Chain A
Amino acid sequence: MSHSVALERITMSFGATKAVDDVSFTVEPGEFFSILGPSGCGKTTILRMVAGFLAPSAGRVLIGDRDMAGLGPNQRPTAMIFQSLALFPLMPVWENIAFGLEARGVPRAKRRRRADELLELIALPGYGDRKIAELSGGQKQRVAIARALAVEPEVLLLDEPLSALDLKLRQHMRAELRAIQKRTGVTFLYITHDQSEALAMSDRVAVMSAGVLQQVAAPRTLYEDPETPFVARFVGETNAIPGTVAHVADGIAALDTAHGRLSARAGRGVAAGRAATLYVRPEALGIAAADAPSALGARVERLDFEGAFGLLHAVTADGAAVLAALPSTTLGAAPAAGEAVRFAFAPRDAIALGAAQGEA
């Protein structure tokens, strides 16, 4: 099976700091693959190693099963979209788009035709003779994509391309990027620190923290079955309750916590007698019935009404924040600020993870 991109045990050190530490993953042809992680975790460094701007300190980069060692950015079947876009302001739009073809010696008339075709693809027909400075943020974005697609790369590398846009445009460009990717079938390697962006667009997501790969999975799997505490906290909102594992049976772990015994699915690193943390999503919490055997007791701080949901902010006796997302239809029965509240959840909707590994 031929991978589009394969990273084999890649490490990148800058002096004493390891920006990327022993990272391996594969990206399949035609996949929309994202790398997600907080700023400074090594995403750009990985992308630049795939593009050929940096040579890894250790490990191999393969594209289409070919080892890329020793090949510069101009010799690799990749095209990069820079965080700043890096359009050429002194050239008209069409020359920007056709620049890669110009470098390949394609005659002018043919370049122009190809640029016009790509302008159709990005829904900017007739913009060929405009100046870059005359375009809006979203239009520049699309020209940058067309410029990269013009060289028919096997892999398109995108470094937080939407971060400079305002919220509305960002939402729109997400759909647009996804559509362009489906239409062209090009493999997208996309990096972002915005988890909702990664979850909404990607086929699979690699989550990174401090240079270390945490988990590679489909968006729903990341959300429902995080493998490390970092992923549980970073992807989506969650409530964390530390405790000690009492026993594990049928994939359900019982934890002794400050709120008594609570149950959740047993995730990685969970074994009887070990410390573990229980993670439960805000939308998995409900108001407990008065006679519920085990529940999470807290005091309500405030309720933020968000339309479909109400976000109930509460604090436990030991000072930990609890967030619950309650459907608006149930808000009539919700307690008011200052009142005590007890939350319950189904064990299937929560997951316990061993505290042992790489907490970030």
Chain B
Amino acid sequence: MGALTARFGAGLAGFFVLLVGFWLAGLVLAPNLMMIDFALRPNLLPADVGGPADVYSLDNLAYLAGEPVHRDIFFKTVWASALVMLATFVVCYPLAYWLAQTASPSAASLVVLALIVPFWINEVLRTLAWYILFAFRGPLNALLLGLGILDEPMRWYGDGGVLVGMVYAYILFMLFPIYNSIESLEKAQVEAARDLGASTWRIHTRIVIPHAKAGIATGCVFTFMLAAGSYVAPALLGAPGSRWFTQIIYNWFFEGGDWNRGAAYALVLLVLCLAVVLITLRVFRVSLTDVAK
């Protein structure tokens, strides 16, 4: 506050503090508190709200625990999101390393541009593009049939389609944190390791990954949370057998008309994401301030 006042004067500094306060209280804290409130109340007719039946309970959470289909979808969403995170990492790490350490500046900027341009388009439309590519009578099947790789068209919608769509959707969230952290690694360290006889595998496990772990943790946390909270990709590219937990939440709110149960489900998802963030940070031994950088 002292530094802010010195820099912008008391009036402007006060305004900034007020803005941040409003953002925290009004746009972060209040909705979440309301969600918790909703989650813990029963779903009542408007006439009964505030009546003797309107008491706090864990019924909505218990319902999720006792409902096998929803429970399975929840756990499936967890591990499938982890899979998306892993797949995105596997795709992004070599690319980030190449961009940061070996690519010529012109090649690097060309590739970065090619990666960013599609993201100027809305996520729904981008996913729709995959929807078209993956269609039963779509270009992908036509290509594979034409090349003789397939004898008859494949059904791509489902788990595989969702995975591909999400890896593509979140690639930049994984790529840039890793790229940033690898870029700060001095090239001579990689050369020194090689000169001392290290294999490529050892160079990465002992030198590059330890150096880049804050970036890797950041990318993983981002990707996991985005995947777990994703709605578009599973809705478009999924099949009835590959439903996502977000779709269940959506149904409670807008089809089941039970906001309370929807809020309870959303709360569970939020807690899960928080847990994943904390566990990932613990596993990578990085602090939140490292990630914020």
Contact = CB atoms under 8 A, between A and B. Distances in A.
Interface string B202-219: 100011001100000000
A86 interface: yes
Interface residues of B, number: 17
A103 B197 contact: yes
A74 B186 contact: no
B196 interface: yes
Interface string B180-206: 000000101101111111110010001
Contacts of A73: 191, 194-195
A99 interface: yes
Interface in B209-251: 210-211
| Interface band, chain A | 20 to 34
A168 interface: no
Interface in A69-102: 72-74, 78-80, 82-84, 86-88, 90-91, 99-100, 102
Contact of A72 (B194, B202, B206, B207): B194
Contacts of B197: 74, 100, 103-104, 151
A99 B196 CA distance: 7
A148 B197 CA distance: 11
Q: Considering residues B195, B197, B211, which has the most beta carbons from chain A within 10 angstroms of its beta carbon?
A: B195
Contacts of B193: 88, 99, 103
B196 A53 contact: no
A14 B207 CA distance: 29
A329 B197 CA distance: 58
B210 A90 contact: yes
A86 B196 contact: no
A84 B186 contact: yes
Among B189, B192, B202, B206, find the residue whose CB has the most chain A CB atoms closer than 10 A: B192
Contact of B188 (A72, A78, A86): A86
Contact of B194 (A74, A87, A102): A74
B195 A79 contact: yes
A147 interface: yes
Contacts of A82: 188, 191-192
Given A99-B198, A103-B197, A147-B196, A86 B210 contact: no
A73 B197 CA distance: 7
Contacts of A147: 196
B198 A84 contact: no
Contact of B189 (A86, A102, A103, A104): A86
Contacts of A78: 195
B196 A90 contact: no
Given A90-B210, A103-B202, A151 B188 contact: no
A78 B195 CA distance: 8
B199 to A, nearest CB: 7
Contact of B196 (A84, A91, A100): A100
A300 interface: no
B204 to A, nearest CB: 13
A51 interface: yes
A91 B205 CA distance: 13
Nearest to B207: A88
Contact of B199 (A51, A74, A88, A100): A74
A3 B202 CA distance: 33
Q: Which of A51, A88, A147, A148 neighbours the largest number of chain B CB atoms within 10 Å of its CB?
A: A88
B189 to A, nearest CB: 5
Nearest to A104: B197
Contacts of B211: 90
Contacts of A88: 189, 192-193, 206-207
A80 B210 contact: no
Interface in B4-30: none
A148 B193 CA distance: 11
Contacts of B196: 74, 79, 99-100, 103, 147-148, 151
B42 to A, nearest CB: 54
Contacts of B206: 88, 91, 99, 102
B214 to A, nearest CB: 12
Nearest to A81: B192
Interface in A319-340: none
Nearest to B202: A103
Contacts of A83: 188
Contact of A86 (B192, B198, B199, B202): B192
A319 B210 CA distance: 61
Given A86-B189, A90-B210, A80 B195 contact: yes
Interface string A48-60: 0001110000000
A261 to B, nearest CB: 55
Contacts of A100: 196-198
A79 B192 CA distance: 9
Contacts of A86: 186, 188-189, 191-192
Given A84-B186, A103-B193, 11 more contacts: A51-B195, A74-B197, A74-B199, A80-B195, A86-B192, A88-B193, A99-B198, A102-B206, A148-B196, A151-B196, A151-B197
26 contacts: A53-B191, A74-B196, A74-B197, A74-B198, A74-B199, A78-B195, A80-B191, A84-B186, A84-B188, A86-B188, A86-B189, A86-B191, A87-B192, A88-B189, A88-B192, A88-B193, A90-B210, A99-B198, A99-B206, A100-B197, A100-B198, A103-B193, A103-B196, A103-B199, A104-B197, A151-B197
Interface of B: 186, 188-189, 191-199, 202, 206-207, 210-211
Which are the 3 A-B pairs with shortest beta-carbon distances? Answer: A100-B196, A86-B188, A86-B192
